[in-house]
Each structure stands twice: as C-alpha cells, then as structure tokens.
Amino acid sequence: MAYRIPRWLSRRATLTGAVALGLSIAAHAQSERDWGALAVEDTTPPILPPDLQSYSDQPSLNGPVTDYQPFGTHPPTTEEQELARKVLSKVPTNCTPMDVALYFLDVGAGKFGPELRPYITAWPLDWNPVIVDFFKTTDTQPSGDTTSWCAAFVNFCLVKAAIGKTLPPGSEEPTRSAASSTFRYWSHQVKPPTDTVRPGDLVVFRNKQSPGYGHVGFFLAENEARILVLGGNQFEGTPVRHTINRKWIAKDGPVLQFHSYRSDPQLHA
C-alpha cells in the first residue's frame, strides 16, 4: 500500500510520524505546527465530572438538551456551569478554526487543569453546558439526546476564530446549522490528486442508511482507506461517549461514507 509523504515534513517527522502511522499528511507550509506529531488517534477514555462518576456505566447523551426540553435529563450543577464558563472564556479568537478545535483537544488533555477535562465530552444524566454553547452559533434548537453536535462544533470554531480579524477575500459564511449536510457544498471542494487537502480543511461524510445525515470535522491525515478527523461528537470509550477527539474514520464504512473535502481561505489564515 503506497502512502503520499509530503515534502514539507522534516526527515525526522516523516520517519516518526508519517511512515510509522501509515499516513498521507498534506502540505501546510505556512504553519509551524508539527502536523506529523498531531496525526495520532486519541484513545484515552473521556473523563466525567466527579458528581457523575456513579453513572460511569451509562452511555453519554448524543447531544445537549435545553431548559425547555429536558427529556428526562438534569441540568448541570452550579459548579459545573462555572467550570464550563472557564473553558469558554479561554477559547482563542483571531486565529484559524483549527486553532479553536485544538484548544479543546488541549482542554481534554488536561493542559488547563484536570478539573476542565470533562468539558469536551457529552455526559450521562446531565448535559454539558460547553456543548450547549456550541449551538449558540447555529440556528438549530437542540432536541434532547438525538441532536448530534459535530456541525455545531465546526460552526463554533469558525465563528470564534473570526472574532477580531478581517477574513480573507472569498471566505464563506458559517452554515449556522447543526446539520452536517450543510457543509457538503460549503465553500469549494478539494479534489485530490489535482488539489491538495491540508490539515485544517473540512472533511464531510454522509450516512449510507440515512443520506440526509452524516458527519463533519477537521482533516488531519489520511491513508488509502481511512481519514483522521479532529471533530466533535466522535465516539470513544466504553460505554460510548460522544467527545471531541482525533478519530480514524473509514472512507467507506458500515455507516459513514466519505463525501468531500472542503476548503476556504479562512481555514488557513
């Protein structure tokens, strides 16, 4: 199986990152990030807040709920709301959308304190107020535990990254929707091998059984069969929790099928 190794990777990064992982990571010459080091799937089980540890045997909600549609779930505690505000107050602005997404990855890794680690994951019983906040950048009213939040997360990253900066010419408006299908024709399509997909571009999937549904996240790497996606509402742990992480997703899996790569000037400036 042949993998494309981009020229921008250093020899060390190529050997330790791309070759060892079997990746094809595209060029991003203007960035100083070590994309080879970032192209690793997350396998650490998501963390729950202390007061929800007794529900660790229950799966997470597949999306937030509102005060008006509780669907048998509970609002977060006052302390959880305060910690959520702390997470949201540190979200970077005047940056790239990928910078925002990577911030949440750092939150989950404990780089801003162990007490904030649970705030990138949907919880059992209570809803995570950080995830609820993602929906404020959309026109979508979340409906209990059936509302997926991958597109809300991407919209949140687009909106926050644009604060304080003038977007490059040709930048597309966020879709303002929690439906991943709204990104299928967003901005312009990247068509390898003629075009080069870069870390930070969007990758869109369709649901094979329900074509109106699917998934969207940020591209990190790929090989012939799979794509490494940094996104929200991605599965991890046992029982399954819906979290922000880096996950290999099959290009043609039992549920999801690759639809397209999307790029836009604001994703890289």
Q: Is the pLDDT of residue 9 over 60?
A: no
**Helix, strand, or coil (residue 178):** coil
Burial tier of 55 (Cβ tally within 10 Å: 0-12, 13-18, 19+): middle
**Distance between alpha carbon 135 and the CA centroid of its chain, in Å?**
14
pLDDT value of residue 1: 33
CB contact set of 114 (below 8 Å; sequence gap of 6+)? none
CA 237 – CA 196 distance, rounded (Å): 33
Q: Is the pLDDT of residue 86 over 60?
A: yes
Q: Is the pLDDT of residue 14 over 60?
A: no
CA 196 – CA 63 distance, rounded (Å): 33
pTM score of the predicted model: 0.86
CA 17 – CA 34 distance, rounded (Å): 9
Average pLDDT over the chain, rounded to an integer = 85
* Beta carbons of 160 and 130 less than 8 angstroms apart: no
Q: Is the pLDDT of residue 19 over 50?
A: no
Q: Which amino acid does the sequence have at 194?
A: T
* Percent of the chain that is helix, strand, coil (3-state, to 5): 30, 20, 50
pLDDT value of residue 148: 86
pLDDT above 90 covers a percentage of the chain that reads 66
252: DSSP letter: B
pLDDT value of residue 221: 97
Q: From the CB of residue 4, how many other CB atoms can be counted at a distance below 10 Å?
A: 15
Neighbouring-strand partners of residue 254: none
Q: From the CB of residue 99, how many other CB atoms can be counted at a distance below 10 Å?
A: 18
Model pLDDT for residues 218-257, shown as the tens digit of each residue = 999 999 999 999 999 998 888 888 999 999 999 999 999 9
pLDDT above 70 covers a percentage of the chain that reads 82
- Taking residues 95-102, report their average pLDDT: 97
CA 204 – CA 179 distance, rounded (Å): 11
CA 149 – CA 152 distance, rounded (Å): 5
pLDDT value of residue 70: 41
Tokens 């702390």 sit on residue: 86
CA 217 – CA 220 distance, rounded (Å): 9
Model pLDDT for residues 25-48, shown as the tens digit of each residue = 433 333 578 999 999 999 999 999
